[in-house]
Amino acid sequence: MAEHADAGSAGHTDGTGDPVSSERIVAPGADDLERAAEAALRPRSLDDFVGQKIVRDQLSLVLHAALGRGAAPDHVLLSGPPGLGKTTLAMIIATELGTSLRVTSGPAIQHAGDLAAVLSSLEEGEVLFIDEIHRLARPAEELLYVAMEDFRVDVVVGKGAGASAIPLSLPPFTVVGATTRAGLLPAPLRDRFGFTGHLDFYDSEDLERVVVRSAGLLGVPLAHAAAHEIAGRSRGTPRVANRLLRRVRDWAQVRGDGTLDLAAARAALEVYEVDRLGLDRLDRAVLRALCTRFGGGPVGLSTLAVTVGEEGETVETVAEPYLVREGLIGRTPRGRVATPAAWAHLGLEPPSDGLFAAV
């Protein structure tokens, strides 16, 4: 995810805990350019944020009530699948409060001392965004409990029997945590968030609005039919919609006349192997393996992953959620199975004795 400009060097280390020098100049890679492009399309306020109406309304009440009291708002937990706007909402929270945003992530905080260093540098009213907060190390979690509830950290001085804890007061601040797996958060940490918002997948209408807005920011002409086509293949995810829009723009620039019409959208998405349901190469590889190699299943996740040449975690977290949501595969105690919809999508005839033959 792209980080907010106000984040400065927070969370950026060379692996030893020392800040990485910002003076080192390197050529931007493809990932850097993609993140920069995504950041340019991010909405800057709740009014500009498309979709998630319930979460937006609830969050607006929390922020404006806090502003009216002149106090820091309750800590905020945002959960939901990747690409739905959790990082963007964290940036918007800081903007709405008129303060800066510090950015870090759960995997980057391996020790309680790492978190203590971040917390002790916070200024009054600042927002601390912790991405993938469910991956915090246990000692850091326990330190965060106290910091969120009592605005203090206990700094341990010395070692062994002579060690002592010195409480260090912190100015009021707001933690915004983001997680794709809320069930992995321990209850004591989850209970310290005063507001929890769950982001759901977008419908096609909201995704069309996202695409139209992004096309305007990119300064490219976009036909309504093209916006509808891109939205329909975006897997209910704004990040995917913006990525596909940029690929269609590339195709129109290089092989078309610069206009993003329906023909350009379909031609571009065919080049990038995104089919009418939004399935990509990995998704179709999983379906083909299930149907052609294992007769529709059931088959274990690890076996399926080896067959398609990917890690099990990649198949489980990247491909499987969307395939399950679209009713193309099912998860059973014996393994993954292909549904009749999967066979139909691949243009294959399901076996008469398959698990879903009677469906």
Catalytically annotated residues: 86-87, 131, 180, 239
- Tell me how far CA of residue 324 lies from CA of 39, 57, 232, 327, in angstroms: 30, 30, 17, 5
The alpha carbons of the chain give a radius of gyration, in whole angstroms, of 23
CB 93 within 8 A of CB 76: yes
Q: Buried b vs exposed e over 315-354: b needs ≥16 C-beta within 10 Å?
A: bbebbbebbeebebbbeeeebbbbbbbbbebbeeebeeeb
Distance CA 265, CA 244 (A): 9
Tell which residue, 213, 201, 217, 178, has the closest CA to residue 37. Answer: 217
* Tokens standing for residue 48: 């500009």
Distance CA 335, CA 301 (A): 7
